[in-house]
Amino acid sequence: MHAGGVRRFASPDEAQGSPLAQAIFAIPGADVSEVIVSGNLVTVVKRSPAPWPAVGKAVGQAIRAALAAGQPAVASKPAAAGSATADDVLYERVADLFDSQVNPMVARHGGRVELIDVQDAVVMVRMAGGCQGCGMADVTLRQGIEAMLQQHVPEVKGIVDITDHTAGSNPYFAAAKK
Amino acid sequence: MLRPYSPRLLLLLPTVTYRTVAFVEAARRLGVDVTVASERPSTFERANPTGLVTLDFADPAHAAAQARAFAYAHPLHGIVAVDDDTSVVAAAIAQELGLRGNSVAAAAAARDKHQQRQLLAAASVAVPRFELRTIAADPERLAHGAYYPCVLKPLRLSASRGVVRADDPPGFVAAFRRIKAILEQPELAECGEWARHVLVEEFVPGREVAVEGLVTRGSLQVLALFDKPDPLDGPFFEETIYVTPSRFARTAQQEIAACAQAAVRALGLREGPIHAEVRHNDSGAWLIELAARPIGGRCSGALRFESGETGNGRRDTSLEELIIRHALGMELPTLEREHQASGVMMIPVPGAGVLREVRGVNAAQAVPLVDEVVITMHHGQMLVPWPEGSRYPGFIFARGETSEAVEAALRAAHARLEFLTEPAD
């Protein structure tokens, strides 16, 4: 869907020029607030009470239509003019935190957390190794990584996990019981 | 400026539970501060000592002492357990800290099938005839004294693991030896006295339902009654489809609810979620099992409740949100389930082997009324059929106008799935 890294769209205006994101923002009744595209993974955040399964089917239709159109589904991220943006500065600080603290911690369980991007102060991560598909991955994300970000980089507004956890083949903790 | 008050919940999450995301995200939606307790340390525990703690789930009294020490520095306002084992630990901690919960005795009785049977029988709750047997006994001698058909089961394993029906003495001996082999596996043999016993009980014919409920001051509110349309007649008891609302007649549903309430009372349960298995036949409702925990696996995804307002309008409430609200003494929104029929299929294990690939997920997902197909087992993991196994490869969810339509959609979606496996080395 998008080979040029990660793109995050936080409004329909930002989605202009990216047909896939535009189509997802336009899903009736979904009130989509965020679309993130990374490679072939599409993450959608919505505000409406519409059930996910219904919205998910509409997202699927949007993806199929974008692919069938034969045009780039997502435009490349515009280059920042001039000096480093606030997100660039945040990215460096978050990357330092990941290198110095987060990844040494998850490495004890064979895991790895990749910093994918920081856009509008929202951190996007992908979990790998023992973290991918781990039954406790959400605890690691919320009680571990998010808590450390709040402490060390309080300017960060949120964190989004774009991992395909169903594809994890070696989770550290595999869910096994009720 | 002072930070607005936010209650802190102690969430007991075993590292092998399916329930992590549902409970952690429910707490976030409610704006509740969470401390996650597990039996093994998180690698982030030192970095976030308020949000993560390790407790000795194998020893509830020790876990309660650990929780007390933790609560000196980080006051706790409620506690939630997500499975059978942690329900007893939660009771011990609730008792120690004066939090809303069950007594240890009640939680322990619900946890142990023999204790449970004894209390229920003493309170005249309809339960099958039962006898406790040691696995050291000679099964051939036991077989001659048994009534048939009967069901043999371990005292504590979950998801019907090790539960086997026997119709005659040879069947009894085979079932007994099979369960004994399960209980003698090292990880179970060390679990205590319960792992050296088998419960033998009369097989109760009839249709089975699952009762999902919330207990407040000893009073049971039934949240949902799930029909199990596939007959559970053995020889093994792997669950498949749950569909709600129930298609039982109203009087039968009332008998089932009354049976579950009587069991709650007999066990002494006072607070929190329960999940009960009840059979119904011409003699009425029979309590098969009652657990002081919510529905297991991913199945809670089949439940949505009508809810109040949020900043962005109405939204549904999950079962986990109700449970957390109850534990913290927060106001409960309506406990009415959504108007649609809903169901879940615990995908049957297709056979023993190492999972290599699952085909047809998109086709299954495309079946009308199907909400979601979730494959929870990872490639390379072992598929183990019942009675030795206890893990479903995944779950299918559907919603629709009627229970019949939902059931049909679940079956149609399942028919489109294909599991490719290889023999284990």
- Taking an 8 Å cut-off on Cβ atoms, the answer to whether A177 and B21 are in contact is no
Whether residue A130 lies within 8 A of chain B, CB to CB, comes out as no
The phi-psi region of residue A90 (left if phi > 0; otherwise alpha if psi is between -120 and 50; otherwise beta) is: alpha
- In chain A, what's the furthest Cα-to-Cα distance? 54
Closest of A125, A3, A20, A118 to residue A63, by C-alpha: A20
pLDDT for B186 equals 83
- From chain B, the residues in CB contact with A48 under 8 A are 312-313
Q: What pLDDT is recorded for position B11?
A: 96
CA distance B54 to chain A (A): 13
The Cα B227–Cα B26 span in angstroms is 26
Count residue pairs from A and B with Cβ separation < 8 A.
121
Best B44, B74, B379, B384 member to test A by mutation, with max A CBs in 10 Å, is B44
Q: What is the predicted pLDDT for the residue at A178?
A: 47
Residue B274 has pLDDT above 90, yes or no: yes
Query: What percentage of chain B exceeds 70 in pLDDT?
Result: 96
CB contact under 8 A, A101 and B47: yes
Which pLDDT belongs to residue B344?
97
CA distance B10 to B27: 11
Q: Does A140 touch chain B (CB under 8 A)?
A: yes
Q: What is the distance between the alpha carbons of residues B65 and B61, in angstroms, rounded to a whole number?
A: 6
Q: Which residues of A touch B158 (CB under 8 A)?
A: 177-178
pLDDT of B176: 96
Query: Closest chain B residue to A132 measured between Cα atoms?
Result: B378
Please judge whether B42 and A135 are an interchain contact, meaning their C-beta atoms are less than 8 angstroms apart. no
pLDDT at A119: 86
C-alpha to C-alpha distances, A12 to A46, A49, A50, A67, B204, nearest whole angstrom: 13, 19, 19, 20, 60
Chain A CB within 8 Å of residue B292 CB: no
What mean pLDDT is predicted for residues B120-131? 97
Higher pLDDT, B322 or A28: B322
pLDDT band at B311 (very low <50, low <70, confident <90, very high): very low
User: Residue B107: in which H helix or E strand, if any?
Assistant: helix B104-111
For residue A53, the chain B residue with the least C-alpha distance is B371
pLDDT of residue B34: 94
Quick check: B11 and B23 in contact, CB under 8 A?
Answer: yes
Tell me, what's the pLDDT at B97? 97
B283 to chain A, closest Cα gap in Å: 31
> What's the rounded mean pLDDT across residues B116-124?
98
pLDDT at B132 over 50: yes
User: Would you place residue B138 in the very low, low, confident or very high pLDDT band (cuts 50, 70, 90)?
Assistant: very high
Cα torsion A60, A61, A67, A72: sign: negative
- Contact flag A175-B316 (C-beta cutoff 8 Å): no
Q: Identify the sign of the CA torsion B281, B283, B284, B290.
A: negative
Residues 49-108 of B with CB under 8 A from A: 51-52, 83-84
Say if the Cβ atoms of A53 and B372 lie within 8 Å. Answer: yes
Question: Highest mean pLDDT: which of A59-68, B183-192, B319-328?
Answer: B319-328
Q: Is the pLDDT of residue B418 over 50?
A: yes
Give residue B121's pLDDT: 98
Instruction: Name residues 362-381 of chain B within 8 A of A (Cβ).
Output: 370-372, 374-376, 378-381
Mean pLDDT over each residue of chain B, to the nearest integer: 92
Q: A126 pairs with which residues across the strands?
A: A114
Per-residue pLDDT tens digits of chain A, which is 178 residues long: 777 667 888 889 888 889 999 999 999 888 888 888 877 778 888 877 677 777 888 888 888 888 888 888 888 777 665 556 788 899 999 999 999 999 998 888 888 898 988 988 999 998 888 888 888 888 899 999 999 999 999 999 999 888 877 766 667 666 664 4
Contact A24, A43 (CB under 8 A): no
B48 and A144 in contact by Cβ < 8 A? yes
Residue pair B240/B345 in contact by the 8 Å Cβ criterion: yes
Q: Which residues of B fall within a CB distance of 8 Å from A148? A: 44, 47-48
Residue A79: its pLDDT value, please? 67
Q: Cβ contacts of residue B123 below 8 Å, gap of 6+?
A: B262, B265, B266
- The more confidently predicted of residues B212 and A110 is B212
Nearest CA distance, B34 vs chain A (angstrom) = 8
CA distance B42 to A134: 12
Nearest-angstrom CA–CA distance, B291 and B293: 5
Question: Which tokens sit at B383?
Answer: 């598929």
Nearest to B382 by CA among A28, A174, A52, A166: A174
Record: contact A47-B28, CB cut-off 8 A = no
- For residue B287, with 0-12 CB atoms within 10 Å meaning exposed, 13-18 middle and 19 or more buried, which class applies? buried
Q: Which residues contact B82 (CB under 8 A, 6 or more apart)?
A: B11, B12, B13, B14, B17, B19, B23, B293, B294
* pLDDT at position A30: 84
- The Cα-based distances of B381 to A58, A73, B424 in angstroms read 33, 36, 10
Contact A175 B21 (CB under 8 A): no
CB contact under 8 A, B36 and A139: yes
CA distances from B149 to A28, B21, B166, B169 (A): 56, 41, 6, 10
Q: Name residue B199's beta-bridge partners.
A: B132, B153
**Residues B75-94: tens digit of each pLDDT:** 999 999 999 889 999 999 99
Identify whether the C-beta of residue B62 lies closer than 8 Å to the C-beta of residue B56: yes
Q: Which whole number is the average pLDDT over B336-365?
A: 93
